[in-house]
């Protein structure tokens, strides 16, 4: 009996050797690749029954070359890189992995926020450079710190991660306001308009999908609504921001800062407007990256494949 041929790409974006793929390997004959060019991807995937991707583009052209393809699985929640229409036309099932990174992304939001508010990175670097040894007093305050207690936390998007961030913000004693296109049932927080969430937030954290409604939602008009003391946090999708407009707002002091884990082009380009922007903290799309989170991701990818092979596909996007 022929075993299912599985091709898994983008391996080095999921593991740098610290986690394994045994749950996936148990389900068929698996060939692993790191990041491939589009041409290399076509060659690697042409005979696959199942294709697993993280950020690789599953285009119509690729789908047309993969004559045996029956299923596409993503190592991610987002699937902007997958041509869902082309898959549906061929009757190819596709699934994503929702919810696997909720705790990790929530953790990263507050890691960024607390570092920005407490300037812990600057103080740690100062101590490492010997400044405390030279200090004439037991403490020193060259960088102004602020409390997050009592501040207003705006949540743009109220899915799993948005809810988790809202609850943690409440635990910190913050005032939580929420903007979401789909009105939630029994939301314990004040629901506000898009303009109000920009205008009222001291910290504004984005947890919405990237679509025609949200692309470029952080722009010159919306940033102009914000307090000069406000800070934007984006761990969702880089293209939510007009990066030129955001960089301009930061460099001119229209807002106090931005904490970003995502950019519109990744890896970052040398000409990215936010590279070196004033009071802009950037991490390299790692909010989802704790080891436990990636292990959970691989398990859930395998569960999606099992469900498909059993004729009961789950978490379908196509």
Which residues are the active-site residues? Answer: 237, 266, 285
In this structure, how many other beta carbons lie within 10 angstroms of the beta carbon of residue 306? 15
Q: Which two tokens stand for residue 77?
A: 């929640």
Measured CA to CA, the distance from residue 81 to residue 77 in angstroms comes to 11
Any alpha helices (H) in the chain, and if so which ranges?
11-14, 22-25, 38-45, 60-65, 84-90, 102-118, 120-128, 131-134, 160-171, 194-200, 220-224, 243-252, 291-309
Annotate 158-216 with DSSP letters as a single string. -SHHHHHHHHHHHHTTPEEEEE-SSPPTT-SSEE--HHHHHHH-SEEEE----STTTTT
Q: Which two tokens stand for residue 236?
A: 């969702």
């Amino acid at each position: 009996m022929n075993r299912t041929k599985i091709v898994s790409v983008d391996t080095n974006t999921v593991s740098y050797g610290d986690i394994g793929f045994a749950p996936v390997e148990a389900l068929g004959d698996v060939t692993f690749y790191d990041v491939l060019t589009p041409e290399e991807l076509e060659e690697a995937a042409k005979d696959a029954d199942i294709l697993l991707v993280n950020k690789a583009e599953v285009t119509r052209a690729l789908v047309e070359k993969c004559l045996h393809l029956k299923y596409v699985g993503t190592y991610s929640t987002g699937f902007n890189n997958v041509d869902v229409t082309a898959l549906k036309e061929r009757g190819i099932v596709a699934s994503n992995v929702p919810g696997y990174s909720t705790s990790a992304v929530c953790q990263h939001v507050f890691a960024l926020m607390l570092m920005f508010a407490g300037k812990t990175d600057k103080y740690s670097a100062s101590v490492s450079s010997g400044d405390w040894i030279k200090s004439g007093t037991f403490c020193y305050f060259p960088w102004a710190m602020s409390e997050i207690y009592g501040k207003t936390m705006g949540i743009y998007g109220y899915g799993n991660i948005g809810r988790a961030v809202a609850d943690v913000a409440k635990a910190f004693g913050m005032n939580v306001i929420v903007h979401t296109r789909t009105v939630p049932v029994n939301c314990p927080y004040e629901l506000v308009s898009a303009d109000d969430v920009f205008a009222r937030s001291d910290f504004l954290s984005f947890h919405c999908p990237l679509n025609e409604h949200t692309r470029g939602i952080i722009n010159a008009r919306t940033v102009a609504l914000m307090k000069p003391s406000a800070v934007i946090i984006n761990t969702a999708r880089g293209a939510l921001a007009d990066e030129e407009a955001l960089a301009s707002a930061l460099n001119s002091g229209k807002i106090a800062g931005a904490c970003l884990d995502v950019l519109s082009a990744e890896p970052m380009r040398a000409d990215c407007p936010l590279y070196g922007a004033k009071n802009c903290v950037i991490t390299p799309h790692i909010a989802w990256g704790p080891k436990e989170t990636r292990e959970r991701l691989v398990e859930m990818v395998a569960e999606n494949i099992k469900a498909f092979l059993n004729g009961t596909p789950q978490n379908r996007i196509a």
